Chains A and B, each alone.
Chain A
């Protein structure tokens, strides 16, 4: 990292406190039980996210839903007993079930917004020092930094291998030939990763690697960073107390 890029990144927010704040807010949001509080929290988080003028990908990210969330939304209204709301053939949806599904959707959306807004646009290079600052074991930090560094390269390699397969007229389908071909693709990816690991390790040792990366002391958090953490704590506490009342 050059001096210029350090000067450029130093006025940014302190990533250690950001990570702690995100964790606290997520932990509080994920344990809410009442729909009105969860909806208010989602509105607050949404306003806070919109305040920072995010790109369209943040809002698009909300539309992505994991498969089993869809399953929950489909089953909860009909399986939770309670006051009937409407019926679909032999199935009857209950008010409680629909409320429960809405609660889950609200909480998951709020959590996605918090995670993407607080940590979405972080460069991987800054995460290593931040994790070390949070006393994550040194071996995990090194693994994390190396994996983040080489993931892009290996993804490119996977893309090139897949393009080469397409050039040889590979048409994927549900059959054993396709599965064997995908096996060879992943196998080749692993062989190349092992060769690259060998080269990386030799290069590291040539430069005097002694089992740890040298690292600069991190600047201490500014008053603004602490204020952000306190704000997150207050928000977390407030929604939790409102939820339990």
Chain B
């Protein structure tokens, strides 16, 4: 649901999204140490594989976005990981879009990076598992809501005719945010027990 295909958005939204994405990617490149490239690439592949797992919700199923977790584990390199994953998806599988690459990168990565910056330090520093669970759930859920809001905003800015659909889009993100909050909390609790070093961001 998060990737907008080609042929839907107006030119100003596409260009604006492209410029924002370029700024985010430049920031990620600036902060990423050369030696962290294999780590970032393998994590990007793992997040991609994780987002392909279908999680049942009621009669339907959802795919995870995992952007909040990416923000915690990759930091600003989330922009790079999302860009690479979306490019792979567009070029190899034909899903998503080429002209909407910038908009989609910002829609997914920006909320994740912000959640990672805001909640990452608390998740890494706290000694209490309950606080870590709550912070992890917040990071996962808020990142999804942020993405939903940005997708709706991209539609709404493109054409006033999309406004009713944009409102429904936000509503469809609510169950995903709930599931993602639970699953992100569980992943972070798992990593804190098994490999706490994994929660250090690849690029601050």
Residues of A near any B CB (own CB < 8 A) = 22-23, 26-27, 29-31, 61, 64, 66-69, 71-72, 74-76, 79-80, 97, 100, 104, 107-108, 110-112, 115-116, 119-120, 122, 124, 127, 137, 139-140, 142-144, 146-148, 150-151, 153-155, 157-158, 162, 172-174, 176, 178-180, 182-194, 196-197, 200-201, 204, 211
The one of A112, A143, A154, A162 in contact with B46, judged by C-beta atoms closer than 8 angstroms, is: A154
**Cross-chain contact A200 with B42 (CB below 8 angstroms):** yes
The one of B38, B49, B55, B94 in contact with A197, judged by C-beta atoms closer than 8 angstroms, is: B38
Interface with A: B113-121, B123-131, B159-167, which one?
Answer: B159-167
The number of residue pairs between A and B whose CB atoms lie closer than 8 Å in the complex comes to: 232
**Cross-chain contact A71 with B168 (CB below 8 angstroms):** yes
Q: Smallest CB–CB gap between A178 and chain B, Å?
A: 7
Q: Is B198 an interface residue (CB 8 A)?
A: yes
B40 partner residues in chain A, CB cutoff 8 A: 143
**Cross-chain contact A186 with B187 (CB below 8 angstroms):** yes
CB-contacts of B46-70 with A (<8 A) = 46-50, 52-53, 55-58, 64, 66
Q: Smallest CB–CB gap between B92 and chain A, Å?
A: 6
**Cross-chain contact A31 with B98 (CB below 8 angstroms):** no
Q: Smallest CB–CB gap between B88 and chain A, Å?
A: 6
B39 partner residues in chain A, CB cutoff 8 A: 194, 197, 201
A162-B53, A197-B41 as given contacts; A124 in contact with B92, CB under 8 Å:
yes
**Besides the known contacts A162-B53, A174-B57, A180-B182, 15 further A-B residue pairs in the complex with CB atoms under 8 A apart:** A30-B8, A31-B10, A72-B162, A72-B165, A115-B90, A115-B94, A142-B41, A143-B44, A147-B42, A151-B49, A155-B49, A180-B186, A182-B55, A190-B47, A193-B43
The one of A26, A140, A173, A186 in contact with B66, judged by C-beta atoms closer than 8 angstroms, is: A186
Q: Smallest CB–CB gap between A156 and chain B, Å?
A: 9
B45 partner residues in chain A, CB cutoff 8 A: 146-147, 150-151, 153-154, 193
B57 partner residues in chain A, CB cutoff 8 A: 174
**Cross-chain contact A172 with B87 (CB below 8 angstroms):** no
Q: Smallest CB–CB gap between B158 and chain A, Å?
A: 10
A204 partner residues in chain B, CB cutoff 8 A: 38
**Cross-chain contact B56 with A187 (CB below 8 angstroms):** no
CB-contacts of B154-182 with A (<8 A) = 155, 161-165, 168-169, 172, 179, 182
